[in-house]
Amino acid sequence: MTVIGCGRTDAGVHAERYCANFRAEGSIPPDRLPLALNALLPQDISVYAAAEVEEDFHAVFSCLRKEYTYRAYTSPVRDPFLNGRALFFPEKTDIDAMRLAAERFKGTHDFAAVRSVGTNVKTTVRTVYDFEISRSGDMLSFRICANGFLYNMARAMVGTVLYVGLGKLRPEDIDGILDSRDRCLAGPTVPPHGLYMTGVWYEGKAGALFADG
């Protein structure tokens, strides 16, 4: 049996929402599959729902858009309970400047400047629907929704916006960075452990499984 996941990424990245599909013959009804699969899966993976979908469904190619959220903990004191779950970033940042920079990433652009070499793609053009930065206490959250992501694109976008927050770049520099297609001009690729897949969108029966979020 071949299982097709809706995306792959670096070790250390998390997923709060994820979709996978496979073809199988059996007597277990779809609504009972989560219970059966969870009895076999590792403790850090859970299946919440299953459905019989359209014949041509593909977890990757049928996906309309994806959302990633990056979390950075900005307290001056490390929280051990967030180890491996959020970037420890005890720096003062200008959230207003970061939000201005994030706005400039929105839209359809060539995102080669925030892509790490690692996979072959036909085009580096993507559409970013939203890039929202919020704060709750000492936790900064960077939520990015797009029709697709290049290798390390989300992490490089967050690193670039953090550079703006630190005053190393200006919000208006984002336009030139994207136009340049030069990875060296953008900010760093932040570590993987702060990144979460938090949303996937589909049509049809698969879409109904994710309609609540």
Could you tell me which CATH class the domain 65-198 is placed in? alpha beta
The domain ranges of the chain are: 65-198
Q: Taking 80 as the threshold, does the pLDDT of residue 156 lie above it?
A: yes
d(CA 1, CA 163): 45
| pLDDT of 118 strictly over 80 | no
**Residue-level pLDDT at 4:** 94
pLDDT band at 212 (very low <50, low <70, confident <90, very high): low
* Residue of 135, 87, 127, 132 whose CA lies nearest to 109: 127
pLDDT in tens, 181-192: 999 999 999 999
Of the candidates 74, 181, 164, 166, the one whose C-alpha atom is nearest the C-alpha of residue 82 is 74
- Condensed to tens digits (0 to 9), the pLDDT of residues 24-48 reads 888 889 999 999 999 999 999 999 9
Question: 10, 94, 138, 173: which one is catalytic?
Answer: 10
pLDDT of residue 103: 98
10 is catalytic: yes
Position 6 scores a pLDDT of 94
| End-to-end Cα separation, the chain, in angstroms | 29
For residue range 47-71, list pLDDT tens digits in order: 999 999 999 999 999 999 999 999 9
